Chain A
Amino acid sequence: MVLRVFRWDPGTGERVQEYRVTAREGMTVLDALVEIQRGSDPTLAFRYACRVGMCGSCAMVIDGRERWACRTLLARLPRRTVSVRPLYHFPLIRDLVVDLEPFRRRMLATAATFEPAEGPAAFAAVGRDTAERRQVAAAIECIGCGMCLSACTMVAHDERFPGPAALNRAFTLQLDSRDGAHADRATRLRSEDALVRCHAQASCTAVCPMEISPTDSILSLRRRAILALF
C-alpha cells in the first residue's frame, strides 16, 4: 500500500510525501506510521499515546475522514493509496501534529467547565439509574480528541462557534444538579454564535469514535432554550 502523508513544518512549504508500506494482517495506520518513522523517515512527526483506542491522541484525517489511526486497519480501507492528513481547523505544529488550544478556548468560551454550586447543592449523589444520569450517559464519555471539530463545517466558518465538543460538554453541565453556572451558560448558549450556528448536519456524530451524538446534545439544548422563553 501507499500512504500519501501530509508534511509541513514552519519555514518550509507543505508537501505530500508517499511511503510504501507492506500491509500485514491486523496492521493499523498507526502501526504503518511508526514503522515509517523507525525505518525510512525519522523526521515524520505524529502524535500518539495509548495505541489502543483509549486516549484519542492519534486523531487525524485518513482517506478524507476523521479517524483514530490506531483503530484504522489498513485492510479495511477501500483504496490501496491512502491519504493521511492532520485534523482540520486546528493550527499545525508539524506534519500530522496539531495544536489543540482552540479546543480548550472554545470550551472556556461556552463556560463548558464545571462550576460547583454554592453550599450543600455542590454535593449530590447522582446514581447510575437516575434519570439525570441516563440523559447524559453517552455525552459524558467525550475524551476530547478533537475529531468532531475537524468534521464540523460550521467551525470552519465561525471562529466564535464553540463547536460540537464544547456544546456537548455544556449539555452535560446544564443537566448537572451540582453545577452552579446554569444561568451564565444559558446566556452564552443563546448568543448568536452558539446553539443557533449549528445546522444539524451531524458530521460530528458520524465521526465520533465514542459514539456520542453532539448533534442530539445541541438540539436538546436548543429545545431547552426555547422552552425557557415560556
Chain B
Amino acid sequence: MSEPRVLRRGWTTREGWRDTKAGLWAWLLQRAAAVALVVVIALHLQNPFIPAVQAVLLGLVLLHGLLGLRAILLDFGLPVGWHRALFAGALGLAILLFVVFWMWRWS
C-alpha cells in the first residue's frame, strides 16, 4: 500500500499565499523579527555606536515585543474577533514609539 497523497499549501506558489489571513501575517512577522533580532543583536554587540544598527534593533524589538503583547492579550481573554485590530494597533504603536524614541535619542 503506497503512502496516501496529502496536499499541503504551496508556500512557493502565488495561490498558496492568496487569502493569507491577518493572524498568520502577525505570527510570521513576530517570528521573522525574532530571527532578525539574533543577527542584529550580534552586530550591535560588535559595535554599539552604529546608528543604522541601533535603528534596526529598536524597530525589531518594538515589532517583536508589541506583537507578543497582542498574543498575550488574546491569551488573557480579549475576544479573538479583535485580533486584526490588535495587529494594526501593534504595528501603529511600533511606528509611533520608534519615532518618539528615535527623536528623543538624537535630541
Interface residue ranges, A against B (CB under 8 Å):
6, 8, 10, 14, 63-65, 83, 85-92, 99, 151, 153, 156, 199-203, 205-206, 213, 215-216, 219-220, 222-223
**Residue in B15, B19, B74 whose beta carbon sits within 8 Å of that of A200 in the complex:** B74
> Range of interface residues on chain B?
20 to 34
A-B contact sample (15 more), CB < 8 A, given A89-B8, A202-B83: A6-B7, A14-B5, A86-B7, A88-B7, A88-B8, A91-B5, A151-B21, A200-B27, A200-B71, A201-B27, A202-B22, A202-B80, A213-B81, A223-B76, A223-B77
20 contacts between A and B (CB under 8 A): A6-B7, A64-B15, A86-B7, A89-B6, A92-B6, A156-B8, A199-B27, A200-B23, A200-B27, A201-B21, A202-B21, A203-B23, A203-B24, A205-B80, A213-B80, A215-B23, A215-B80, A216-B80, A219-B75, A219-B77
Chain A residues whose C-beta falls within 8 Å of the C-beta of B77 in the assembled complex: 219-220, 223
B4 to chain A, nearest CB (A): 4
- Whether B79 and A202, one on each chain, are in contact in the complex, defined by CB atoms closer than 8 angstroms, is no
- Whether A92 and B23, one on each chain, are in contact in the complex, defined by CB atoms closer than 8 angstroms, is no
Which residue of chain B has the shortest Cβ distance to A223 in the bound complex? Answer: B77
B23 to chain A, nearest CB (A): 4
Chain A residues whose C-beta falls within 8 Å of the C-beta of B26 in the assembled complex: 201
A219 to B16, CA, bound (A): 27
**Residue in A86, A87, A206 whose beta carbon sits within 8 Å of that of B23 in the complex:** A206
Chain A residues whose C-beta falls within 8 Å of the C-beta of B74 in the assembled complex: 200, 219
Chain B residues whose C-beta falls within 8 Å of the C-beta of A92 in the assembled complex: 4-7
- Whether A83 and B15, one on each chain, are in contact in the complex, defined by CB atoms closer than 8 angstroms, is yes
State whether the Cβ of B9 lies closer than 8 Å to any Cβ in chain A: yes
| Given A200-B83, A203-B24, A153-B19 contact (CB < 8 Å) | no
Contact with A along B77-91 (1 / 0, CB 8 A): 101110100000000
A14 to B8, CA, bound (A): 14
Chain B residues whose C-beta falls within 8 Å of the C-beta of A201 in the assembled complex: 21, 23-24, 26-27
Chain A residues whose C-beta falls within 8 Å of the C-beta of B16 in the assembled complex: 64
